[in-house]
Chain A
Amino acid sequence: MEFVLVQTLNGISYGLLLFMLSSGLTLVFSLMGVLNFAHASFYMLGAYFAYQISVKIGFWPALVIAPLLVGAIGMLVERYGLRTVHKHGHVAELLFTFGLAYLIDEAVHLVWGRQAVPYRVPDELDGPLFQIMGSQYPIYRGFMMLVSVAMLVAIWLALTRTRIGLVIQAALTHPQTVEALGHNVPRVFMLVFGGGAALAGLAGVIGGNAFVTDPGMAAAVGPIIFVIVVVGGMGSLAGAFIASLLIGCMQTFAVSLDWSLGGISIAQAAPVLPYLLMVLLLIFRPKGLMGTREG
């Protein structure tokens, strides 16, 4: 019983982290039609920046500064890269971000080396939060959930209650009209792209020390968030939310179960499960869970 409870909580905290990543990706995709292949690389940059800053200043400043830095890089990428390549179409944009992911990964190799860096949970967040029937639940997991939920509420409020949020929502469906009304739509694109990158960076700050900060982290999480976007339905935030929690819980449970099927334990099969889910879903529901767009 307590196993199910603790694993569910772990799954939800991992799922929320995944949603922080997939929400930025989905928002950028539905606004600009660009699938940012380098999104997971921004996540990795966030973790590495946070590590560097927390070594020099501390974890709390890193929590703020690292996402802002990643967001600034995202804006520069949009302004000087994506905008140039935009005229060549979506495939060129996707390829540009693919090349960018390559560059960021190699730059991280070059600057921080090929080994994992010792990016640790700060002391004040280290330890058990509470006990359920004998098993402990770490504070940091709770903190991750808190940050993710706070962030998501903030985004939701920003998108629905502020002026710029309304402009973004309008630009989603009617960019020409919004431009005709005197709003600078390219700048909105830049802000949203930077915002998505900053979200990925924040996910990196809180995910990097909960899991591991190494040059392989982008390649490990990247395909998963793309699967989430496909499973949830391209461009659907609600779909991405459901798919994130689903895959987060599925992964967490699969790794910790020791049942076996035909000689292969569930834990061994865990890496395949999200992709299997995607393939099955595509066969039976090609649009994705909540998708409206046809690819």
Chain B
Amino acid sequence: MRFTPLNLGRWILWSATALVFIAAPLVFTSGFSLTMMTQMGTLIIFALSYNMLLGQGGMLSFGHAVYSGLGAYVVVHTLNLMGKGSVVFPVVLLPLVGGLAGLVFGVLFGYVTTRRAGTTFALISLGVGEMVFACVLMFPGFFGGEAGVSTNRVVGKPFFGLTFGPALQVYYLVAVWCFLSMVAMFALTQTPLGRMANAVRDNPERAEFVGYNTQRVRFLQLVLSSFFAGVSGALSCINFEIVSAENVSAIRSGGVLLATYIGGVPFFFGPVVGSIVFVFFIVALSGFTKAWLLYLGLFFVLIVLYAPGGLASLVLMQFPLIRAGRWRELLLPYALAGLAGLVALAGVIGLVEMVYRLSEPGASTVLSVLGVSFDARTAPPWFAFAAVLAAGLIALRITTRRVGERWGAIQADLLAKAAG
């Protein structure tokens, strides 16, 4: 028996997470923020389950929506059967049904996809995803074709007075399942399987020499991950009361990849951050501009290029500085770089919005910024925004170099201090 001290920080962190889940709807009371938070909770489960593959197992999947989507289809049919009265089952436990369905499909498809690793795994997962999508459109009897299958979540006897009719009750259902799934997935990272998955990700050859079957480790990891994907699919089915071909599509699979990577693949909490940012991006930005997907893509590419650890890594990078009490030295460089970034962003937004206004039939080509209105069909605004963009980019180059220098110097100081 090994002595394991109580990890206080971890307990505080998890309790705080639970508190946030409980308190969030009390702070943000509007219906709009409630639907947004429900979506965030669903996506958090989905993104964490995705990170079981990408972050912990090194498997880049382009078809993860298959498991959540098919789980959602099974749940929607279960709900409809419950509505007809032929099956009696509590709505609270429906995510379990979705999870089991996801798990079964994980066993089925995982057997094929996990035979290979690396790039080939990525391609095969894409192929399987496309296959399932095509099949869903091929059998409209079960899958409802393009329109999908709709349902009603208020069925059966109320569960301790909860009917899950009101959005608030759905939020708490999602929150409870989200919290449980987070704990379960974190616990999984601590098990021997979770550790072996890391080993297979980092060095499959050595893992094999130690005596593990890498294919089986990948398979088990994928099966468990598809369980949680199924749970999230079930919750989204309960939330939206409709499941369509879009739920298994490549768009969904790509979306969860974006959310996970933007948050930060190397950290357990990364996908949580990513999901929150992603939903916010979609819901908030899509109301403002038709080009929101372009901005999202641009954001993703920038993260891949310059912050491969995601947003979580950017935050965690500051901790050693704060601990050493030297964060003040970086305030000015950060502020300048941020300013330069904003200028460049303004240039990009101006150009993109003008392109969109010109191409969209019927859209007005007259835009106004800060009270100055201009026509996108004339040349001057193009030159102006291009100049703003160029200036922003040059400034960004200079300021980020200063941040890098300052950062490097402090880091070297800290290392020298630690060494002696």
Contact yes or no, B359 A94, CB < 8 A: no
User: A226 touching B305 by the CB < 8 A rule?
Assistant: no
- List the B side residues contacting A295 at CB < 8 Å: 116-121
Contacts of B297 in A (CB 8 A): 99, 102-103, 106
Q: Closest chain A residue to B115 by CB distance?
A: A286
12 example contacts (A-B, Cβ-Cβ < 8 A) are as follows A81-B305, A94-B122, A95-B304, A102-B296, A110-B356, A223-B130, A230-B123, A271-B134, A272-B131, A279-B112, A279-B127, A283-B112
A111-B355, A295-B119 known; A276+B131 contact, CB < 8 A: yes
Q: Which residue of B lies closest to A272 (CB)?
A: B134
- Selected from A35, A81, A286, the residue in CB contact (under 8 A) with B123 is A35
Q: How far is the CA of A271 from the CA of B137 in the complex (A)?
A: 10
Nearest CB of chain B from residue A154's CB, rounded to whole Å: 28
The answer on a CB contact under 8 Å between B304 and A272 is no
Q: In whole Å, how far is A106's beta carbon from the nearest beta carbon of chain B?
A: 4
One digit per residue, 1 when the CB lies within 8 angstroms of any chain B CB and 0 when it does not, for chain A 102-115 equals 11001101111100
Verify B121–A279 contact, CB threshold 8 A: no
With a 10 A CB-CB cut-off, give which of A91, A103, A112, A264 has the most chain B CB atoms. Answer: A91
Considering the complex, which residues of chain A in the window 110-138 have a beta carbon less than 8 Å from any beta carbon of chain B? 110-113
Tell me the bound Cα distance from A94 to B118 in angstroms. Answer: 10
Tell me the interface secondary structure of chain B in the complex.
helix
A145 and B166 CA atoms in complex are apart in Å by 61
- A:224-265 near B, CB below 8 Å: 226-227, 229-230, 234, 264
Contacts of A92 in B (CB 8 A): 304, 308
Verify A95–B254 contact, CB threshold 8 A: no
Whether A226 contacts B356 in the complex (CB less than 8 A), given A84-B305, A102-B297, A264-B138, comes out as: no
Q: Is the CB of B124 within 8 A of A278?
A: yes
> Chain A residues with Cβ under 8 A from B120's Cβ?
230, 234, 295
From 45 to 80 in chain B, residues with beta carbon under 8 angstroms from any chain A beta carbon are 54, 58, 60, 62
Contacts of A269 in B (CB 8 A): 138
Known: A35-B122, A95-B304, A107-B294. 6 other contacts (CB 8 A): A35-B123, A84-B305, A94-B60, A103-B298, A271-B137, A275-B127
Do B305 and A113 have beta carbons less than 8 Å apart? no
Check A282/B294 contact, CB under 8 A, given A95-B60, A102-B254.
no
* Contact of A268 with B by CB under 8 A: yes
Contacts from A to B (Cβ < 8 Å): 29, 33, 35, 81, 84-85, 88, 90-92, 94-96, 98-100, 102-103, 106-107, 109-113, 219, 223, 226-227, 229-230, 234, 264, 268-269, 271-272, 274-276, 278-279, 282-283, 286, 294-295
Give the residue of B123, B137, B352 whose beta carbon is less than 8 angstroms from that of A110. B352
Number of B residues with CB within 8 Å of any CB on chain A: 47
**Residues on B with beta carbons closer than 8 Å to the beta carbon of A110:** 291, 294, 352, 355-356, 359
B276 to chain A, nearest CB (A): 20
Most chain A beta-carbon neighbours within 10 Å: one of B127, B139, B308: B127
Q: Cβ of A96 and Cβ of B123 under 8 Å apart? A: no
State the CA gap A182–B58 with chains docked (Å). 36
Q: Which of B131, B304, B355, B356 contacts A85 (CB 8 A)?
A: B304
> Given the complex, which residues of B lie within 8 Å of A112, measured CB to CB?
359
Contact (Cβ within 8 A) B291 A282 = no
Contact A282 B124 (CB under 8 A): yes
How far apart sit A98 and B124, CA to CA, in the bound complex (Å)?
15
Chain B residues with CB under 8 Å of chain A are 54, 58, 60, 62, 112, 115-124, 126-128, 130-131, 134-135, 137-139, 250, 254, 257-258, 261, 291, 293-294, 296-298, 300-301, 304-305, 308, 352, 355-356, 359-361
Given contacts A99-B300, A295-B116, contact A226 B134 (CB under 8 A): no
User: Most chain-A CB neighbours within 10 Å: which of B126, B250, B360?
Assistant: B126
- Knowing A90-B118, A282-B112, say if A219 contacts B291 (CB, 8 Å): no
- Residues of B near A81 (CB, < 8 A) are 301, 305
Asked if B116 and A226 make an inter-chain contact with CB atoms under 8 angstroms apart, the answer reads no
**Measured between C-beta atoms, what is the minimum distance from B74 to chain A in Å?**
20
Instruction: Give the CA-CA distance A111 to B250 in the complex, in Å.
Output: 23
Q: Shortest beta-carbon distance, B358 to chain A, in Å?
A: 8
Instruction: Closest B residue to A88 by CB, please name it.
Output: B308
Q: Are A98 and B257 in contact (CB under 8 A)?
A: yes
Cross-chain contact B134 with A96 (CB below 8 angstroms): no
Residues on A with beta carbons closer than 8 Å to the beta carbon of B305: 81, 84-85, 96
Partner of B60, one of A91, A109, A275, A283: A91
Contact B119 A35 (CB under 8 A): yes
Chain A residues near B117 (CB-CB < 8 A): 295
* Complex-state Cα separation, A226 to B60, whole angstroms: 15
Which chain A residue has the least Cβ–Cβ distance from B60? A91
Contact, CB under 8 Å: A230 / B127: yes
Say whether, besides A94-B119, A110-B355, A272 and B127 are in contact (CB < 8 Å): no
Closest to B306 in A: A84
Contact A226 to B304, CB < 8 A, known contacts A282-B116, A286-B115: no
Contact A230 to B124, CB < 8 A, known contacts A92-B304, A100-B301, A110-B359: yes
Cα–Cα distance between A286 and B355 once the two chains are bound (Å): 46
Contacts A102-B297, A275-B127; is A268 near B116 (CB within 8 Å)? no
Partner of A226, one of B118, B127, B135: B127
What's the Cα separation between A213 and B352 when bound, in Å?
22
A103 and B360 in contact, given A111-B355, A275-B130 (Cβ under 8 angstroms): no
Verify A90–B119 contact, CB threshold 8 A.
yes
- List, in ascending order, chain A residues with CB within 8 A of B124's CB: 230, 278, 282
Shortest beta-carbon distance, B120 to chain A, in Å?
Answer: 3
Q: What separation, in Å, do the CA atoms of A266 and B300 have in the docked complex? A: 40
Shortest Cβ gap from B64 to chain A (Å): 13
Q: Are A102 and B361 in contact (CB under 8 A)?
A: no
- Chain A residue nearest to B357 (CB atoms) is A110
A84 CB contacts on chain B under 8 angstroms = 305
Tell whether, in the assembled complex, residue A275 and residue B250 are in contact, meaning their CB atoms are under 8 Å apart: no
Closest to A89 in B: B308
Q: Which residue of chain A has its CB nearest to the CB of B141?
A: A263
Q: Which residues of B contact A85 (CB under 8 A)?
A: 304-305, 308
Of the candidates B130, B137, B352, B360, which one forms a contact with A113 in the assembled complex, judged by CB atoms under 8 Å apart?
B360
Which of chain B's residues have a CB closer than 8 A to the CB of A275? 127-128, 130-131, 134
* Closest chain A residue to B309, Cβ basis: A88
